[in-house]
Amino acid sequence: MMRDTCPVCQGATVAFEFSKAGFDLSRCGDCGFLFTNPYPTPAQIEAYYTASYRGASADFYPKAASRMRRALVKSLRFIPHVMGKRVLDVGCGGGMMVKAFSLWSASASGLDISPGSIAYARKQYPKCHFYCESFADFAHRGETFDFVFSTELLEHLAGPEDFMEMLRTVTEPGGVVYIATPDAGHPAVPATVADWNDVCPPEHLQFFNATNIQILFKRYGFSLTKAFPKKTPAHSLLFRREAA
């Protein structure tokens, strides 16, 4: 369904921007949010990933050893946020970051919609907790977390609302959320945005700049506490859940 209001700021100045790979993209004239409009249907998205990616299983995950090594290194920068805390990785894939966080945290959990990825994570890291379900179903579990980690996920979603509702529900007041996603406002983005490699529907579907990602998180009760500088077009952000 076409959207004539912005999913981020709810402004009514959404207009067609360009087409790429058979999909139309619109931009909000108020906040600059760029998104596939209409978003692909769930069936289109499933068909794309089924055709494009090698399937994970309980006994196989692509590049598992190197992913685990990178996860262990990456986890070190987050020790102040995870030490002794309840931690969740949203879009956890094969569970490598969950396992790495478990070395420091009180508990570590992962959420993903890929049955094969979760089967692998459960078999390899049985002391961690893994869930294969939608954002809405997970939010209804009543679980809450002190630190939520999500990288390379937000750009893949057909709209930000379900993800943000889940974050608001599962993050403790005062808790911290880390987000990594492409930065459409970065100086390294080509002047002709359609030429940017990250614009690749139906894989990447929505693109934030430094202003509108804060607008989105503010709407759901989060404030930006730190933006890590990046030489490449990527957001690396820490948000804090405001007290109710």
70 contact partners, CB below 8 Å, separation of at least 6: 96
Q: How many CA atoms lie within 13 A of 241 on its CB side?
A: 21
The mean of the pLDDT values for the chain is 96
Q: Is the pLDDT of residue 244 over 80?
A: no
Query: Mean pLDDT over residues 33-54, rounded?
Result: 85
Q: What is the 8-class DSSP label of residue 133?
A: S
Cβ of 186: how many Cβ atoms within 10 Å? 17
Give the tens place of pLDDT for each residue, 145-203.
999 999 999 999 999 999 999 999 999 999 999 999 999 999 999 999 999 999 999 99
pLDDT at 78: 98
pLDDT at 52: 63
In terms of pLDDT, which residue wins out, 135 or 50?
Answer: 135
Cβ of 128: how many Cβ atoms within 10 Å? 21
Rg (CA), the chain: 18
Give the tens place of pLDDT for each residue, 53-106.
667 999 999 999 999 999 999 999 999 999 999 999 999 999 999 999 999 999
48: pLDDT confidence band, cut at 50, 70 and 90? confident
230: pLDDT confidence band, cut at 50, 70 and 90? very high
Using a pLDDT cut of 70, give the percent of the chain over it. Answer: 98
Report the candidate in 64, 54, 127, 135 with the shortest Cα–Cα distance to residue 94: 64
pTM, rounded to two decimals? 0.96
